Structure 1
């Protein structure tokens, strides 16, 4: 489960928006929010654009994009891929809503606190176990595709006659491709002749008549 989220301007660490801590005990996250502030303080434009930092039962996940730091505290068991998909969604909406104002020099702390409504709605979606199950299913499908592709590549590379066969096939394909291009050019030329030959014939007859009548 995602516990809290903070959005900060990268260049000067100005807080732009944040979610209310999801905690029944006010001091439960105090230690980890202090750690979060230290992480934010150390991040620069040369830092890794996304990373996860484990701390006790929680993990800090952060994303740097478009001059903004998005950082969240989540339970350690919460899927990392899901956490970054959540942060990507926040970035997409935040930039669409406030991207033109991020670099303003007169911004006050938490100038976009209303964005907290979107954070909370998105957090509820990503805390839904069905979202995690769907993502795991998608990852499994992608892994299946990768395994099939890997198997096909291995079949080509390690089958006894694979490389010779690939070379022969490649040569045949090049020869067929060359024949196809020549045939296509001939067909196109014949089509042009059929299309424009009557017009050219009529034009020649017209020119001949003009010459015969007026210039002869």
Structure 2
């Protein structure tokens, strides 16, 4: 029976999704938990290490180390030990495949979507291989969870909150400086009028020169001879 439904790898500092499993359910409840996971991914920097949020039918588990976190949506029947063992295995596979420079320079979502092949293999292994075959790995994780229990989040912690919507954080806009326009003085008006008059005179002079050149082309050629 499948207990791990969806998994993804995200960058901790900004919640950028790096890769994810491409086969997932389309029920309304599941899509709601996808939205919760997306909202939580944007705030993973607040919850270092491991954490869980449980609902009636689904639960979200995450495990982060450095700037990479692995997250999963599981059935509520999935033991936390198995979920965290799955996430740790996924983390090691991802960090072995991509170096920190590539991860840090990623600028678009799902830049490493090809890693989905590994996610599918690991997910299948944990969904269908008996626990007895993973006993040593599960015992190791169980001891770690006893020494350092995961953070327990409420459903409110995974809600689209604090202005976070559709994967975007709110922009904090600073008020623009308030510039007051000073009234124009009499001297300024006079200067403006003089500038306009000078521009008009130059325009008229240019028109007259053009007309004179057209009426007496001989002068134009004489001038060319003098300058050559």
Asked if these proteins are the same fold (TM beyond 0.5), I'd say: yes
Which consecutive unaligned segments of at least 5 residues does structure 2 have?
Answer: 144-228
Which structure exhibits the higher relative contact order, with contacts defined as CA atoms closer than 8 Å and separated by 6 or more residues? 2
The residue number in structure 1 matching 2:71 is 71
Alignment of 1:157-172 (within 5 A): none
Give the whole-Å Cα distance in 1 for the aligned partners of 2:4 and 2:50: 17
Give the whole-Å Cα distance in 2 for the aligned partners of 1:56 and 1:117: 30
Give the whole-Å Cα distance in 2 for the aligned partners of 1:92 and 1:129: 19
Distance 1:18 1:127, change over 3 A: same
Kindly state the Cα deviation for residue 74 of structure 1 after the two structures are TM-superposed. 0.3
Alignment of 1:1-216 (within 5 A): 1-23=3-25, 25-44=26-45, 46-100=46-100, 101-104=102-105, 106-130=106-130, 132-135=131-134, 139=139
Which structure dedicates a bigger proportion of its chain to helix?
A: 1
Range that drifts further, 116-125 or 34-43: 34-43
Other structure's SS at 1:117 match:
helix
Distance 1:111 1:127, change over 3 A: same
The residue number in structure 2 matching 1:174 is none
The residue number in structure 2 matching 1:213 is none
Distance 1:21 1:32, change over 3 A: farther
The residue number in structure 1 matching 2:220 is none
**Larger-Rg structure:** 2
CA deviations over 1:117-155 (Å, ceiling 9, x no partner): 00001000000151x24446874xx99xxxxxxxxxxxx
RMSD: 2.3
- Contact 1:82 1:135 (8 Å CA) reproduced: no
TM-score (norm 2): 0.55
Kindly state the Cα deviation for residue 79 of structure 1 after the two structures are TM-superposed. 1.3
CA deviations over 1:70-92 (Å, ceiling 9, x no partner): 11000011111111111111111
Which consecutive unaligned segments of at least 5 residues does structure 1 have?
Answer: 144-216
